[in-house]
Structure 1
Amino acid sequence: MHKVKYRLNDPRLAPRRTKLEIPGWSGSRDPRTDGSHEQVWHCVPFSEGAQYGIELFYPYGSELHVTTKDGRLLLEGDWGERPESGIQWPPFRNFGAGFYTYQLLLDLKVENGLAIRTEPHPRFYTDRSDTVPIAVPALVRNWWPMLFFCVFKAPGEGRTHIFRSGEPFAQIIVIPEEASFELEPMSENEAAERELQSRRIHANRPKLAAGTEWTSSTDTVFDGTYRHLHRAAKEKMRPG
């Protein structure tokens, strides 16, 4: 079990492990039954990926609207008086032609050999309004004492990103600081083993999916094959 320690400039910026919001950005509570609308939380790989990191929430009471108009980036929000903490105010500013930044002043300390990486919050992938901020991936080593700012991609012409109080705007994941792997083709034996596994799953899919098949409101067919194998694999990995 790894520990991630944090130090805050603003207590309202307290991070938490990313959670699926149901109902909310991850969908409504539609069951996996015929006629239901498919939701992203129905998908185990997405659900696990979405909950893998740490989510950050917008701490200010007033909304911020970030818009590109006639090629210019506009940051519109009611910020009030500058706080006594001496931080950059407003905490947002243009960053080059196609980006903008948010001064976080958030310190996340991870163990040796690990690093933190910023990325878009999972709700970016489920949003249909095109208003969710797009955090730019960045890897920060554990010897760096503070995440001073987070960079966001500017919205397209005529588009608007909206920061609302209490809404998550980015996710941070903890990863090895070095990508110490190499790509190489599988050996013939490895490839044959993987192919055999694939064929066995395909041949046994009716049995593995028994009782879990359903057709969504968009006539998309789903079943629980992956969920069943996922549950079995996790059980096999449990101590004892």
Structure 2
Amino acid sequence: METVKYRLNDPRLAPRRTKLEIPGWAGKRDPRTDGSREQVWHCVPFSEGAQYGIELFYPYDFELHVTTKDGRLQLDADWGAPPDSGVQWPPFRNFGDTFYTYQILLDLKVAKGMAVRTEPHPRFYTDRTDTVPIAVPALIRNWWPMMFFCVFKSPAEGRTHIFRPNEPFAQIIVIPEEANFQLEPMGEEESAERELQSRRIYNNRPKLAAGTEWTSSSDTVFDGTYRHLHRAAKEKARHD
């Protein structure tokens, strides 16, 4: 197990492993049963992807509203007096109107050969209000001693992104610092093996999905085939 160590300028900025909020941004606690509405947490790939990283929470006691009006960015908040720490105040700044920055002052130390990457918090993908901040992806190597600022995409004209107290605004994932892979087509034998695997799953789907089929309120049919295979694969990995 890898360890990620952190150093804070503001204790209220303490990160945590990303969690699905149910009920909350990840949806309602609707069961996997006929007539239920689909929720993102019903999907194992999304749930695993959403919980893969580290979530960061807005540390201030007031809301920040970020708006684009007549092509100009506006940052509206009741900032009050600057803190005694001597940090940039306000900590959010316009960055060419199309972006803005937050002086986050967060140090995340990862293992050699690894890096941290900022990205939108997974609640961005479930939001129906178009108010969730959009963190811009950025890769930071482990030799850099602190993440001094985080960049966000400005909202579209007439839209407003809102930072609320104790609400997550971005996610960080830990990945290899170099993308050491190349793309190449599968060979004939390997391609045939994958096709056979696919057909076996398809042919055994009635057995694998037995007792898990349900139809959502939008007439979409779901079953637990992937969930069953996922559990089996994890169990096998534990014993290998």
- d(CA) in 2 for partners of 1:149 and 1:209? 47
1:155 correspondence with 2:155:
yes
- d(CA) in 1 for partners of 2:86 and 2:215? 56
Matched to 1:38, the amino acid is E
Instruction: Give the TM-score normalised by structure 2.
Output: 0.99
Matched to 1:4, the amino acid is V
Matched to 1:63, the amino acid is E
- d(CA) in 1 for partners of 2:112 and 2:150? 23
Partner of 1:156, secondary structure, is coil
- d(CA) in 1 for partners of 2:102 and 2:176? 25
1:82 correspondence with 2:82:
yes
Task: State the Cα deviation string for residues 86-118 of structure 1 (Å, max 9, x = none).
Answer: 111000001123100011000000010000000
1:73 correspondence with 2:86:
no
- d(CA) in 1 for partners of 2:166 and 2:129? 18
1:64 correspondence with 2:60:
no
Question: 1:190 maps to which residue?
Answer: 190
Written as runs of structure 1 = structure 2, the 5 A alignment for 1:157-176 is: 157-176=157-176
CA RMSD of aligned residues (A): 0.6
- d(CA) in 2 for partners of 1:220 and 1:74? 42
- d(CA) in 1 for partners of 2:86 and 2:208? 60
Written as runs of structure 1 = structure 2, the 5 A alignment for 1:109-188 is: 109-188=109-188
- d(CA) in 2 for partners of 1:87 and 1:141? 23
Task: State the Cα deviation string for residues 103-155 of structure 1 (Å, max 9, x = none).
Answer: 10000000100000000000000000000000000000000000000000000
- d(CA) in 2 for partners of 1:159 and 1:206? 47
Deviation at 1:220, TM superposition (A): 1.1
Matched to 1:186, the amino acid is M
- d(CA) in 2 for partners of 1:132 and 1:210? 39
- d(CA) in 2 for partners of 1:96 and 1:193? 51
- d(CA) in 2 for partners of 1:50 and 1:65? 25
Partner of 1:178, secondary structure, is coil
Matched to 1:7, the amino acid is R
- d(CA) in 1 for partners of 2:180 and 2:2? 19
1:201 correspondence with 2:179:
no
- d(CA) in 2 for partners of 1:189 and 1:94? 54
Question: 1:102 maps to which residue?
Answer: 102
- d(CA) in 2 for partners of 1:5 and 1:85? 22
Instruction: Give the TM-score normalised by structure 1.
Output: 0.99
- d(CA) in 2 for partners of 1:3 and 1:235? 23
1:12 correspondence with 2:12:
yes
Matched to 2:32, the amino acid is R
1:218 correspondence with 2:202:
no
Residue ranges of structure 1 left out of the alignment (5+ in a row): none
- d(CA) in 1 for partners of 2:112 and 2:48? 25
Partner of 2:89, secondary structure, is coil
Percent identical pairs in the alignment equals 84
Partner of 2:84, secondary structure, is coil
Matched to 2:191, the amino acid is A
State the aligned residue count: 240
Matched to 2:33, the amino acid is T
